[in-house]
A and B are shown apart, each in its own frame.
Chain A
Amino acid sequence: MTSEVVIKADKLTKRFGDFIATNEVTFEVYVGEIFGFLGANGAGKTTAMKMLCGLSKPSSGNATIAGFDIYKQTEEIKKNIGYMSQKFSLYEDLTVIENIQFFGGIYGLSDKQLKAKSNELIETLGLQNEAKKLVTSLPLGWKQKLAFSVAVIHEPKIVFLDEPTGGVDPVTRRQFWDLIYSAADRGITIFVTTHYMDEAEYCNRVSIMVDGVIRALDTPANLKRQYSATLMDEVFYELARGAKRKSD
C-alpha cells in the first residue's frame, strides 16, 4: 500500500427524483489498498459503486478513478478496472476456459497473452480437470475464485468486489481472501463490500455508509477504539442500527 491516490470521490451525489441515494460522499483510496465499503442494505453502496465504475452518471460532485474522470472518461475507467459480484460474474453455459478467453478478449489481451494467462490461471486454481467443463457444474466456491481471477486477468488498477463471498463455505472464504491479498501485493487496489464483519478486519481501511452518507472511515483498529468495541460487528451495529432506509 502506498500514499498514491487511485480513487478520489468529492461530494459524489446521486438523486433519483426526491430520493438522494448517495449524498455528498467524499473519500480517497490508495494504490494497493484493501478498502472495505460497508453499509446496511439500502445505504447507497451499489449506487456509489456504479458511479465509480463509470456505469451511472452522478447528479453532482466529482470523482476520478485511476486518474480518469467519471463524467468524461468512462471508457478509460472501464479498461482500468475489474468487477465481480456475487450475482453475476461468469457465463454459466460456457466452459471454464471459454470464460477465461471471453473475458480476457474483452479486456483486450492478445492471443499470446491470453494463452499464457489461461494456462497460468488454471494451474494456480488447480482447475486442470475442470477446464473443459461448464461453469454451471462447478461448486460455488470455485466459481467465485475463478470469477475473481477473471476480473483481474488484465491486471487492472482497481478491482470492485460486490459481496464476493456471500454463501461460500468458511474454508473457501479464506482461500478467496488469499487471492485478494496476493492481488493487493501486486499493487491492485481492492474495493470490496461484505456482510461478514470478520472480513472487515482484513481491510486496511473501511468506510461505513448509513442512509446515503459515509458515517465513519478509518482503519478497523481505530474504529474499534473510537467506538470502544472489541469487534467490527459492534461498530457496524452501533452506526447502522439507526438507519432509516432499509432496501436493497
Chain B
Amino acid sequence: MADVVLNNIVKTYNKGEVKAVNNVSFEVNKGELFGLIGADGAGKTSIFRILTTLLLPNSGTASVNGFDVVKDYKAIRKNVGYMPGKFSLYQDLSVEENLNFFATVFNTTVTENYDLVKNIYVQLEPFKNRRSGKLSGGMKQKLALCCALIHRPTVLFLDEPTTGVDAVSRREFWEMLKGLKQQGITILVSTPYMDEATLCERIALIQNGSIMSIDTPDEIVKQFPENLFAVRADNMSRLLNMLRSNKQIKSCFSFGDFHHITFQDDNELSQNKLIQTLQEARFKDIELKHITPTIEDCFIKLMN
C-alpha cells in the first residue's frame, strides 16, 4: 500500500510564469525509503510543501496515509514529520526545550516515544541545555530530526537534510535513516548529491519540475542505453578538450580522475581507434575501460 500518492501535481509561481512542479506523479510505499534526487530549483521543496499541506497545488491530487492534502490537511499534520531544508527550530530555546515543545504540540511526551529518537538524542544529550541557535551544523541537523520524530510520525519528510554537510557527517546521517526505516517509518528524502541515491530503495530523478525517471537505483542504472567507458591519461584537461572535439565520441563528461565517454559507433574498433588517436596525440599512461554507469551518469543522460 502507498503511504504517499501524487497524481499530476502542478505548481506555478508568479501567475504561471514559473512552473515549479510540472505534472508530477509518483507513489511512496509503506515503510519505503524513497529519494527525490535533483539540483536546486528542480521543484523538490515545492513537492515537500504540498505534501505537508503548507502549499496548495494549482492542479492534481495528492494524499498522505490516504488523506487528501487539501481537504484533510489537519489529519496529515498530526501524522507526519517534516524537516525543512532551512533550520526551523526555536533558536532561543534549548535542545531539551525544543524537543519537549514539539512533543507537547503533538499531544505526547518525550518519554513516550524516546525509544525512537534515543540513538540520535544521546549524541545531543551533553548539550541539552544549550540554545539550539548556538549548536553546530551537524548537531542542529540531529536535533531537527529528533523534533520531527518525537510524535512517532507515519511518514517522515526530509528536505535536503545533507546539503552543505561534509562527507563524513553525510554518511552518519544516512546510517540514522537506515535505523529509522527499520522501525517501519516511511521516509521521503530529497538530495542534490547523486551518490546518495544508491542508499535509497527507490528514487525519482527530477529536473525543472519534471520527473525524468522513477525506479530502484539498480534498474535506473540498467536502463542506461549505451556502453559507458572511462578514460584517463597523463593530462586530463587536454584529454577532455580532445575528446569533446573528437567526432568518434558521442558524449564526454569528467568524473573525478576519469572522463566518462560513449562512442558514436559502439564497437571494439572504436575503442582501438581512440587509443591509437590518443597515442598519436602523445598522451601517456592511457587507460580505457568499460564501466557500469553511476546514477550521476544516468541523470546527465536523462537531462540531455
Contact = CB atoms under 8 A, between A and B. Distances in A.
A199 to B, nearest CB: 8
Given A169-B303, A198-B256, A247-B137, A141 B39 contact: yes
B134 to A, nearest CB: 10
A120 to B, nearest CB: 21
B249 interface: no
A197 B256 CA distance: 8
Q: Which of A167, A196, A237 has the most CB of B within 10 A?
A: A167
A195 interface: yes
A50 interface: no
Contacts of B256: 197-198, 200-202, 231-232
B168 A247 contact: no
Interface string A177-192: 1000100000000000
B41 interface: yes
Contacts of A171: 253, 300, 303-304
Contacts of B135: 247
Interface string B156-179: 000010011111110100000000
Contacts of B165: 41, 195
Contacts of A170: 39, 194, 253, 296, 299-300, 303
Contacts of B163: 166-167
A86 B139 CA distance: 22
B268 interface: no
Contacts of A177: 254
A149 B36 CA distance: 31
Contact of A139 (B38, B41, B164): B41
Interface residues of B, number: 35
Interface in A134-161: 139-141
B255 interface: yes
Interface residues on A, range: 35 or more
A73 to B, nearest CB: 33
A41 B39 contact: no
A41 B253 contact: no
Contact of A243 (B41, B168, B303): B168
Contact of B167 (A139, A236, A248): A236
A10 interface: no
A195 B166 contact: yes
Interface string B209-253: 000000000000000000000000000110000000000000001
Given A40-B169, A170-B296, A140 B137 contact: no
11 contacts: A42-B137, A140-B40, A140-B41, A163-B164, A170-B299, A170-B303, A171-B303, A174-B253, A231-B256, A240-B167, A243-B168
Interface of A: 39-42, 86, 139-141, 163, 166-172, 174, 177, 181, 195-198, 200-202, 220-221, 231-233, 236-237, 240-241, 243, 245-248
Given A41-B136, A170-B299, 4 more contacts: A40-B168, A171-B303, A195-B166, A243-B168
Interface of B: 38-42, 135-139, 160, 163-169, 171, 192-194, 207, 236-237, 253-257, 296, 299-300, 303-304
4 smallest CB-CB distances across A and B, nearest first, come from: A247-B136, A169-B39, A167-B40, A198-B256
